[in-house]
Amino acid sequence: MADDSPASHRRDPIKSSVGNVAAQRRRQNAVTVGKERRESLVRAKRLCRVGPSGDGDVPGEENDMVTDEEGFLLDAQTSSAVEDLKSAIAYQGKGAMQKRVNALRELRRLLSKSEFPPVKAALKAGAIPLLVQCLSFGSPDEQLLEAAWCLTNIAAGKPEETKALLPALPLLISHLGEKSSLPVAEQCAWALGNVAGEGEELRNVLLSQGALPPLARMMLPNKGSTVRTAAWALSNLIKGPDPKAATELIKVDVLLDAILRHLRKSDEELATEVAWVVVYLSALSNFATGVLVKSDAILLLVERLATSNSLQLLIPVLRSLGNLVAGDSHTTSTVLIPGHEITDGVIKVLVKCLKSDHRVLKKEASWVLSNIAAGSIEHKRLIYSSEAVPLLLRLLSTAPFDIRKEVAYVLGNLCVTPTGGDGKPNLIEEHLVSLVQRGCLSGFIDLVRSADIEAARVGLQFMELVLRGMPNGDGPKLVEQEDGIDAMERYQFHENEDLRNMANGLVDKYFGENYGIDE
């Protein structure tokens, strides 16, 4: 199989040796963002407390914590409910169907009662084979819905509990089809989304069993909750690290049109789920990135960033925009043309994010800007003359470390053009002098002192620009005034050969035995 993973979700850094590191880190970010969603944004696995149509009969409880005594009682009730279901399935007399539905409803009620459902008790009592029976074709919708709901909450449990659904997966997938009612299809999609959220092994099982195409087709209607559930399940299903699923998804007929329609028209909650699909498509598949870039996706993402204040929506929208802009240098040059309205719009929304109080938005916006700053001289001038630069300079000295590192890439990239024949980047002296005069050098030297290898390398690279490029040979004095010599000498015996050679080479060249003799 051809390698479709993005060769460069990338910013060409101020020296090209770091390029692969930045690209690899970006892909890892895309693959591991599930943890971020689970903890702070949108959980990778979701308990179903109220049914897809909002008609659940589980009362809201002010406190979902269960005492030990209540837990024992709930387990006992669950075991009893499974036995009742077993009896109901075996019963063939008058009212058999309603008896099964009532038994399923009681089990579902118990599995939905608290934030910590009695999954273990249900599995131990033998619930899975019974629920699989209740998913059989020809069963009434009410029975299918209750069974799928039970399986959804079992799949929201611990890893080994989620894996217990393996026998049910083919039937859950089959009920995603067009012949199923929307509530049943949506509940099955919810169950499959929980299974996909468990990890790569179960995602691969679902993909091999054909879950992706019917989930993709569920993106087409305008029914909000159905599309929302399908989009969430799809983002769990394609989130890597293999790009094959993302590529397969974007090839599904009219899927792109559905994504664009929902980004343009949908409420923020639905647009958030769709934006997460775009995050994984653009992070993992070059093919998908190319398709999205040729569409109105960037324009719609920019419009969402400009008009929304929802953090839940802004994060995936900003990350999607960053992935698309970082696809390759051709994308940056052909889509973001200085002077065009869309380009001005991108810079404005990134400035908005830099001003945000939320660190994730600041970090993501800085990363997007670093990719634009790695483009043509026109792109560098566009950022340099914008409101972004004073904000970036302030962040370099005051922001948390991870943001400062991203900001350093932006400012560094503003000062150089592509590498010359000697392997060193060519300087944009006007930008370098201005940024140094505005106090950025101390921020880069602080990065050199850090334990982070990538940050230290960027700091050393910028120091090299200052030492080499400041007019009148002022570079060494400026570096010395900020205790830069001390920062570099820390690498005299460093275990990283690249950093050791870089730092020692700069000290020898600019602060060797002849340094200061003229004075």
Indicate whether 101 belongs to any domain: yes
For residue 73, report the phi and psi dihedrals to the nearest 5 degrees.
-65, -40
DSSP 473: G
Range of the domain at 148: 10-42+73-217
Is 418 within the bounds of a domain?
A: no
What's the CA gap between 423 and 26, in Å, rounded? 25
Q: What is the pLDDT of residue 22?
A: 39
Largest CA distance in the chain: 107
Mean pLDDT score, 193-204? 94
Element (H or E) spanning 426, and its range?
strand 425-427
Q: For the chain, what is the mean pLDDT?
A: 85
The DSSP call for residue 93 is S
Share of the chain above pLDDT 70, in %: 84
The domain total for the chain is: 1
Q: What is the CA radius of gyration of the chain?
A: 28
Tokens of 20: 């692969």
Question: How many angstroms separate the CA atoms of 471 and 173, rounded?
Answer: 67
Task: Please report, for the domain that includes residue 213, its CATH number.
Answer: 1.25.10.10
Ramachandran class of 141: left when φ > 0, alpha when ψ lies in -120 to 50, beta otherwise: alpha
54-68 residue pLDDT tens: 455 444 444 455 677
In a domain, 83, yes or no: yes
User: Kind of pairing, strands 425-427 and 416-419?
Assistant: antiparallel
Strand partners, 426: 417
Q: Does residue 100 lie within any of the structural domains?
A: yes
Distance from C-alpha of 197 to C-alpha of 154, rounded to nearest angstrom: 13
What's the mean pLDDT in 252-281?
93
88 inside domain: yes
Q: Is the pLDDT of residue 453 over 90?
A: yes
Residue 101 has what pLDDT? 95
H or E element in which residue 406 lies: helix 401-413
N-to-C CA span, the chain: 64
**Pairwise pLDDT comparison (406 vs 178), residue with the higher score:** 406
Q: How many CB atoms lie within 10 A of CB 355?
A: 13
Residue 176 in any domain: the answer is yes
463 within domain boundaries: no
**Residue 58 · residue 51 · CB < 8 Å:** no
Domain assignment present for 498: no
Q: What are the phi and psi torsion angles at 353 (to 5°)?
A: -70, -35
- Its pTM stands at 0.83
* The pLDDT value given to residue 492: 87
